[in-house]
């Protein structure tokens, strides 16, 4: 058995989920500025997540769900997942974003599992608070190690794809480390770099 782990925001999906939600709240600039600094590794991911989600307070749950289920996928997303599954991979998504998006697209793309964060909702509105499995810079690496131990999958049989600084921790547990249209900090840790915004390019590197 082999394992492929994809980041969601700006990897499987074209953009950042929180930026789409912030646009609805009229907070595009404020959130995008913090997002960029976090992806470049200039801000602690946990701190940046807490700060950004606060701007979403008051957004209606039904509207947040609608936005999250209509996000644009990157070219080749469905095709590369089908390709990898045909090659015997279990394919999962780790996201510092939100389950409103990853649960939906897990079904759309045919993923085996998704792990992400949960926006707190009360009385049909986002409260500006968040919790979940992917809140820290080390979260993806720790979850990957747990999955490898559970499934009996080695580092040699693990592939990871990401674009930002919070993907670094999972690269430590994968022999195939793909930086997809990525920030310089992640490219430095990758052994495959793809700058064409089409995920099917990954197929060229898979035996």
Point out the residues that are catalytic: 7, 9
Structure tokens at 39: 């992806």
Rounded CA separation 41/36 (Å): 9
- Among candidates 176, 181, 187, which has minimal Cα distance to 199? 181
DSSP three-state, residue 108: helix
Q: Are 46 and 34 in contact (CB under 8 A)?
A: no
Element containing residue 167 per DSSP (H, E): none
CA angle 170, 165, 56 (to 5 degrees): 110
Strand blocks (E) in 83-181: 89-98, 113-122, 125-132, 158-162, 176-180
């Amino acid at each position: 058995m082999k394992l492929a782990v994809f980041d969601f925001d700006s990897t499987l999906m074209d953009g950042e989920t929180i930026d789409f939600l912030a646009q609805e709240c009229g907070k595009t600039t404020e959130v995008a500025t913090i997002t960029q600094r976090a992806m470049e590794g200039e801000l602690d991911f946990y701190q940046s997540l807490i700060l950004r989600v606060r701007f979403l307070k008051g957004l209606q749950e039904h509207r947040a769900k609608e936005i999250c289920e209509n996000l644009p996928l990157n070219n080749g997303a469905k095709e590369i997942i089908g390709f990898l599954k045909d090659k015997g991979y279990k394919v999962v998504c780790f996201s510092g974003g939100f389950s409103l998006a990853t649960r939906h697209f897990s079904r759309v793309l045919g993923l085996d599992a998704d792990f992400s964060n949960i926006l707190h909702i009360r009385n049909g509105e986002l409260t500006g608070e968040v919790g979940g499995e992917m809140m820290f810079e080390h979260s993806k690496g720790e979850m990957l190690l747990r999955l490898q131990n559970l499934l009996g999958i080695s580092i040699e049989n693990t592939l990871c794809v990401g674009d930002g600084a919070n993907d670094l921790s999972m690269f430590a547990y994968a022999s195939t480390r793909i930086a997809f249209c990525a920030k310089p900090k992640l490219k430095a840790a990758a052994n495959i770099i793809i700058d064409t915004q089409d995920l099917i390019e990954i197929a060229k590197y898979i035996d």
